[in-house]
Structure 1
Amino acid sequence: MTKLNHQDDPSLKSWTKLRNLEIQASGFEGPIPASLSTLSNLQELMISDLSGKGSQFPNISSMKGMKKLLLRNCNITGIIPSYISQMYEIKDLSFNNLHGHIPDLRELSTMNKLYLTGNYLNGDFPKWILDKVAELDVDLSYNNLSKDSLPSTCSDPSLNLYRSYYSTGNNLELAKCLSSRPCSKDYYSVNINCGGPAVTTRNKVYFEADERSGGPAYFLPSTDDSWGFSSTGSPVNAKETSTNYIATNVSILTMDDSQLYTNARLAPVSLTYYGRCLANGNYTVTLHFAEIIFRDNRSYESLGKRAFDIYVQGVIKRKDYDIQHEAGGVDKKVKITLTNIPVTNKRLEIRFQFVGKGTTAVPKRGVFSPLVSAISMKSEFEPPPPSRKPMFIAIGASVVALCVILMTAIGISWRMGYICDTISRDKELRGLNLQTGVFTYRQLLAATDKFDESNKLGEGGFGSVYKGTLLDGTLIAVKQLSSKSTQGNREFVNEIGMIAGIQHPNVVRLHGCCVERNHLLLVYEYMENNSLAHALFEQVVVEIDWPTRQRICVGIAQGLTFLHDESVLKMVHRDIKATNILLDADLTPKISDFGLAKLDEDENTHITTRIAGTIGYMAPEYALWGYLSYKTDVYSFGVLALEIVAGKSNMDYQPNKQCFCLVDQFNKKEAMRMLKIALLCTNQSPALRPTMSEVVSMLEGRRKIKELNMNAIMPEDNELKLQARGQTFEEMQSHDDSQRTEISIKSISSYSNDLTDSQISEKH
Structure 2
Amino acid sequence: MDPGKQIFLLIMYLQVFLIAAVTDPHDFTALSAVKSNWQNTPPNWIGFDPCREGWEGIQCSNSSITSIVLSGIGLTGTLTADIGNLPMLQELDLSQNMGLTGTLPQAIGNLKKLLYLSLAGCSFLGPIPNTIGSLTQLFSLSLASNKFIGEIPPSIGNLLNLYLLDVTDNKLTGTIPVSNETSPGLDLLVNTRHFHLGQNQLTGTIPLKLFSSKMTLIHLLLDSNQLSGSIPSSLERVQSLELIRLDRNSLNGPVLLNFTGLTNLSQLYLSNNKLTGPMPDLSGMNLVTYVDMSNNSFDASSIPPWFSSLQSLTSFIKLFANIISKNFNGRIMERTQLQGQIPDSIFSVAQLQSVVLSNNQLNGTLDIGTNYGTQLELIDLQNNSITEFAQGSGYSKTLMLQGNPFCATIGSTENYCSLLQQPNTSYSPPPNNCVQHDCNSNQIISPRCKCAYPITGTLKFRSISFSDLGNAGYYNHAQALMMDAFQSIQFPVDSIALSDPFKDEYDYLELRIEVFPSNSDSFNRTGFSMITSQLNNLTFFQLPSSFGPLYFTLDNNDYFSGPKSNKGIIIGAAIGSSILALLLLMTGIYAFKQRRKADTATEAAIRLRDPFASWDRNESAGSRPQIKGLRCFTFEELKKCTNNFSDANIIGIGGYGRVYRGILTGGKLVAIKRAQRGSLQGNVEFKTEIELLSRVHHKNLVSLVGFCYELDEQMLVYEHISNGTLKDSISGKSGIQLSWARRLQIALDSARGLTYLHELANPPIIHRDIKSTNILLDDQLTAKVADFGLSKPLDHTEGHVSTQVKGTMGYMDPEYFMTQQLTDKSDVYSFGVVMLELVTGRNPIHHGRHIVTVVRMAMDKTKDLYNLHEILDPAIGVGNTLKGLEKFVDLAIRCVEEWRANRPAMGQVVKEIENIAEQAGLDYDFEMLSTSASHYYSTNGSLYLPDNKKFYEYSESFPHSEIELQ
Give the TM-score range, shorter chain: 0.3 to 0.5
The alignment's TM-score, normalised by the length of structure 2, stands at 0.36
The alignment's TM-score, normalised by the length of structure 1, stands at 0.44
Q: Which has the higher contact order (CA 8 A, sep 6+)?
A: 1
